[in-house]
Amino acid sequence: MPQPLLELTGVSKTFGPVTALDRVDMQIGAAEAVGLIGDNGAGKSTLVKILSGLYPPTTGSMRFDGRAVHFGSPFEARAAGIEMIYQDLALCGDLDVAANVFLGRERKKSFGPIRLLDRTTMREDARRVMRELGTDIAPERIVGGLSGGQRQLVAVARALQFQPRLLLLDEPTAALSSEKIRVLMGLIEQLKARGVSILMISHRFTDILHVCDRIVVVRQGRIAGELAPHAQPPERTMAAMHAMMTGDALGVSA
């Protein structure tokens, strides 16, 4: 692999007496899509939250785009080019679609000495990014009144609006109909083609097999192994994934 976009070295995270992540080494290349799988509590979410700036790692180091990084907040991670789509979507139900898409990174215009929100531009940009996602949900709609699938699209639109280098997805298909899943998967392919790297957590192995170049299996806070889904028939990959997750076959050391 040439220089990876993201490189984790010896990253651990403890919460009091609990070790959620134990000396994880991991790399993600440019335009690479990596699937992250593992049982509940294996450490997937913790890993992704460290990357998105929500938690600082207890020990270990992180390099992004060739530079050592320490994200003190989600704002810093987003500024570096890492967008995250949370499983619970992290939307504000009382705000409209445009306000949610631009939350934390509002567009502004000058009005004498004060900086005002540029609501017109934000509405137009939100409408455009929603169209790219194949939907015409009006930017003025209040998010609390949208369906689960529509909300998911708003969360995706928020991440895409800022042209991320790395997109983190935590169970992105959980609330979507099969048709919307196809749209989302097509979109992930498109993003890959544009050079965006993807790290996706999903319980739907078919999604992972479909879009990911590489699958990383986490077990009890450690990397249990890696798989290349395109190198072998899907059934073999599936079997190997299950074995690594439970750690009871194929001689995989946990």
Partner 1 sequence: MSAPADATASRVPAGPMARFFRRLGEGRDNSLGLLAILIVLVVVLSFVSPYFLTATNLLNIGRGIAIVGIVAVGETIVIIAGGFDLSVGSVMAASGMIAGFLVTHGAPLPAAFAAALAVGALVGFINGAIISYARINPLIATLATLAIIRGLGYVISGGRELVISDEAFLTFGVGQVFGVPYIVILLVATFAVFAWLMPRTLFGRYAYAIGSSAKAAQRAGVPVSRWRIVYYVTCGLLSALAGLVFVARTGNAQPSAALGIELDVITAVILGGTSLTGGRGRLWGTFIGLLLLGVVNNGLILVGVPAFWQQVVKGTILLVAVLYDELRRNRVEEA
Q: How far is the CB of 144 from partner 1 (least distance, A)?
A: 7
Q: How far is the CB of 7 from partner 1 (least distance, A)?
A: 23
How far is residue 206's CA from residue 128's CA, in Å, rounded to a whole number? 30
Looking at the Cβ atoms of 56 and 104, the one nearer to partner 1 is 104
Looking at the Cβ atoms of 89 and 215, the one nearer to partner 1 is 89
Looking at the Cβ atoms of 147 and 190, the one nearer to partner 1 is 147
Q: How far is the CB of 189 from partner 1 (least distance, A)?
A: 26
Looking at the Cβ atoms of 31 and 95, the one nearer to partner 1 is 95
| Residues 200, 35 contacting (CB under 8 angstroms) | yes
| Residues 207, 185 contacting (CB under 8 angstroms) | yes
Report the interface residues with partner 1, using CB under 8 A: 52, 54, 73-75, 78, 84, 86, 89-95, 99, 103-106, 108, 114-117, 119, 138, 140, 142, 144-145, 158
User: Any bridge partners for residue 142, and if so which?
Assistant: 96
| Burial class, 112, CB count within 10 angstroms (exposed 0-12 / middle 13-18 / buried 19+) | exposed
Looking at the Cβ atoms of 22 and 118, the one nearer to partner 1 is 118
Q: Which residues of 155-175 are buried (b: 16+ CB within 10 A; e: fewer)?
A: bbbbbbbbebbbbbbbbbbeb
- DSSP-based three-state secondary structure for 254: coil
Q: How far is the CB of 130 from partner 1 (least distance, A)?
A: 11
| Burial class, 251, CB count within 10 angstroms (exposed 0-12 / middle 13-18 / buried 19+) | exposed
Q: How far is the CB of 69 from partner 1 (least distance, A)?
A: 15
Looking at the Cβ atoms of 111 and 231, the one nearer to partner 1 is 111
| Burial class, 104, CB count within 10 angstroms (exposed 0-12 / middle 13-18 / buried 19+) | exposed
Amino acid letter, residue 133: L
Q: How far is the CB of 111 from partner 1 (least distance, A)?
A: 8
